[in-house]
Structure 1
Amino acid sequence: MHSSSILSIVLLAVSGLVLFLYAVSRLALALRQVVGERVKNALDRFTKTVPMAILAGTVVTTLLDSSSVVIILAIALVSAGALPFRNSLGVVLGANIGTTISSQLFAFDLGQYAVVAMLPGLLLLSLSKKRPGRTAGRALFNFGLLFFSLFLIGEAAAPLKDYEGVQAWLLKLENPVRGAGAGALITLLIQSSSATLGMVIKLAAKGLLTLPAGIAVMLGAELGTCSDTLLATVGRGRAALKTGLFHLGFNLVSITLGLLLIAPFTALVLRVAGQADVARQIAHAHVLFNVSGVLLFAPLVPLCQRLLDAWLPEQEPGAPVLALPAR
């Protein structure tokens, strides 16, 4: 592999990744500006029961296109006393379902048509004199930019099929632990499980990643996404910390089961989506994994609440701090 070829591939791939991360953050910001207060009201109003909280988390995550944003918002509301701790657990579960919508969209090859969204968005952003119009334009432009950035990543990856060393390394990701470790590390570094999944789906679409490797990396990405939500709990009180710990515990248990059962799970994905291409199979695997995890945990929410409350009981305002007697 020539050094100039390596450099051009790396530069194009990194450019696509930078654009993706920018588009995701700006799209989430624009959507929050459009539906921000409505989201808070919806989370307060439609989270009275666990099923309703799961549904609310799913819908809001689909609208905002970021499970991390929704979970961090839930943590902030819990910290402010605007959302009961128990209700936030259902929101966390729903957010894990809502984030699978992104992977389904990424599996469509829409990058070459990105201008259809970007051009009207740019015109709205430039010509609109009112804030709602500019915000809508920003959201539309960044939605198109999201798919264009994935297109760049895919184009950068295409030449890698000609290099046996790269193919051999990617095949090693079929090892569940190695693949999950790579997914967790990448997500931890770039702070976006959506970006990790987007790259996985595009590599699979170019014939560089197999289904077992894609599933393993996907499992790791689910773990890596816990980092930003745990950071959001710092200094926000015990109720917010318990919400973050529930998210971590949910992912740890789900991922552990996923790794232990990865062979039958892969067989299930092939049975459900065997006629689809590998990119679409990975997107379907993401849906099956997250929905299965939510179905497993939903009946356990009251138990999880009691365990976390017993481990981290709320301190009453003004309660004295008992000091241990000196020895």
Structure 2
Amino acid sequence: MNSSPLEIGLFASSGLLLFLYSVGRLALALRQVAGPRMQDILHRFTRSVPLAILTGTVVTTLLDSSSVVIILAIALVSAGALPFRNSLGVVLGANIGTTISSQLFAFDLGQYAAVAMLPGLLLLSLSKKRGGRTAGRALFCFGLLFFSLFLLGEAAAPLKEYPGVQAWLLQLETPLRGAGAGALLTLLIQSSSATLGMAIKLADKELLTLPAGIAVMLGAELGTCSDTLLATMGRGRPALKTGLFHLFFNIVSIALGLLLIAPFTALVLRLASHADVARQLAHAHVLFNVGGVLLFAPLLPLCQRLLDAWLPDNEVPQAASAQPQAA
């Protein structure tokens, strides 16, 4: 049975709203469960670049949000609990950890969402301890996340019947147009994971090609810098430098990705030739982010020196020199 554009729009909107709600609530619940511990881990286990990258990867995987981890790092840098140079490794690690979400999205888990939602709802309703209720909320939202993606996919399926929609989605194969769409969508919904999730579901329904999906992915990486930059406002120069490094890392990585998108797409096809397009896009996300981290990791000392030269930490010395005059 054919669906009208209005029915498709309402169905897709319901799935998208559920998805955004579940992403936000899941991140909040995970922060309540593990946030303070993760903050302590970021403070203690970032003494070397490899350890900082590993820590950023693990914490992002557990909290399911690279933005949350980078904002945590910015807060610690601002408080003086984390040296600026150590935060750079955390930023790189967060970019690896966020690829776990795309791998999960590529699995068709929506039909099994009740396996997580039911015990989560029972914990949320019956647990007398706050920790149990929070864990139940996280489990319920985890299941709801995949159920909402399932709804998005089902809503998108009838779009194959509309040549105009297919023609517009094919236009996203143009790298700059696809990246612009990904960046704009991420800015609007404030979640690169949501953008990637929708792209993967469109690819799963054969509505989005791999080159178009990769272009959207590159744009989403840029759009996610907005909230971390906002988090640096009023936090001092060390925190600002962490946010600027995140922006600089993404701009350089995305520029290289756009310039090399044809050979990169060919590489993904060669490595994952037997996978479907959704899985290929998830693999492309991992390959792109890990490649960017491997490129930047040896350059961290240089990046630190350049940012220190551009924004020297002269706020404290000025305050110290002003004290004797006041006295």
* TM-score range relative to shorter protein: over 0.9
Aligned to 1:162: 161
Paired residues in the alignment total: 320
Aligned to 1:181: 180
Query: Does residue 287 of structure 2 align to residue 285 of structure 1?
Result: no
User: How far, CA to CA, are the matches of 1:318 and 1:98 in structure 2?
Assistant: 37
Aligned to 2:218: 219
Query: Does residue 84 of structure 2 align to residue 75 of structure 1?
Result: no
Aligned to 1:25: 24
Aligned to 1:57: 56
User: How far, CA to CA, are the matches of 2:302 and 2:15 in structure 1?
Assistant: 43
Deviation at 1:39, TM superposition (A): 0.5
Aligned to 2:96: 97
Identical counterparts, % of pairs: 84
Alignment of 1:230-269 (within 5 A): 230-269=229-268
Aligned to 2:191: 192
1:248-293 CA-to-partner distances (Å, cap 9, x unmatched) read 0000000000000001000100011010000000000000000000
1:34-93 CA-to-partner distances (Å, cap 9, x unmatched) read 112211111111100000000000000000000011011111111111111011000000
The normalised TM-score by structure 2 is: 0.96
Q: Using a 3 Å threshold, how does the CA distance of structure 1 residues 86 and 318 change in structure 2: closer, same or farther?
A: closer
Deviation at 1:21, TM superposition (A): 1.3
Letter of the 1:298 partner, please give it.
A
Aligned to 1:298: 297
Deviation at 1:32, TM superposition (A): 1.3
User: How far, CA to CA, are the matches of 1:161 and 1:20 in structure 2?
Assistant: 22
Deviation at 1:219, TM superposition (A): 0.3
User: How far, CA to CA, are the matches of 1:230 and 1:142 in structure 2?
Assistant: 27
> Runs (4+) of structure 1 moved beyond 4 Å?
none
User: How far, CA to CA, are the matches of 1:266 and 1:302 in structure 2?
Assistant: 31
Deviation at 1:305, TM superposition (A): 0.5
Letter of the 2:233 partner, please give it.
V
Q: Secondary structure, in 3 states, of the residue corresponding to 1:109?
A: coil
Query: Does residue 11 of structure 2 align to residue 12 of structure 1?
Result: yes
Query: Does residue 191 of structure 2 align to residue 205 of structure 1?
Result: no
Aligned to 2:325: none
User: How far, CA to CA, are the matches of 1:14 and 1:154 in structure 2?
Assistant: 12
Letter of the 1:233 partner, please give it.
T
User: How far, CA to CA, are the matches of 2:25 and 2:312 in structure 1?
Assistant: 37
1:212-267 CA-to-partner distances (Å, cap 9, x unmatched) read 00000000000000001101111111111000000000000000000000010001
Aligned to 2:47: 48
1:135-165 CA-to-partner distances (Å, cap 9, x unmatched) read 1100100000100110111011000001111
Aligned to 2:316: 317
Letter of the 1:286 partner, please give it.
H
Aligned to 2:33: 34
Letter of the 2:238 partner, please give it.
A
Any unmatched runs of 5+ in structure 2?
Answer: 323-327
Q: Secondary structure, in 3 states, of the residue corresponding to 1:319?
A: helix
Deviation at 1:317, TM superposition (A): 2.5
1:281-315 CA-to-partner distances (Å, cap 9, x unmatched) read 00000000000000000000010001001000112
How big is the alpha-carbon RMSD for the aligned residues of Structure 1 and Structure 2?
Answer: 1.4
Moved more, 36-45 or 65-74: 36-45
Letter of the 2:134 partner, please give it.
T
Moved more, 281-290 or 26-35: 26-35
User: How far, CA to CA, are the matches of 1:29 and 1:196 in structure 2?
Assistant: 19
Deviation at 1:104, TM superposition (A): 0.2
Deviation at 1:318, TM superposition (A): 5.9
Aligned to 2:65: 66
User: How far, CA to CA, are the matches of 1:319 and 1:250 in structure 2?
Assistant: 31
Q: Secondary structure, in 3 states, of the residue corresponding to 1:317?
A: helix
Any unmatched runs of 5+ in structure 1?
Answer: 323-327
The normalised TM-score by structure 1 is: 0.96
Aligned to 2:125: 126
Aligned to 1:325: none
Letter of the 1:262 partner, please give it.
I
Aligned to 2:110: 111
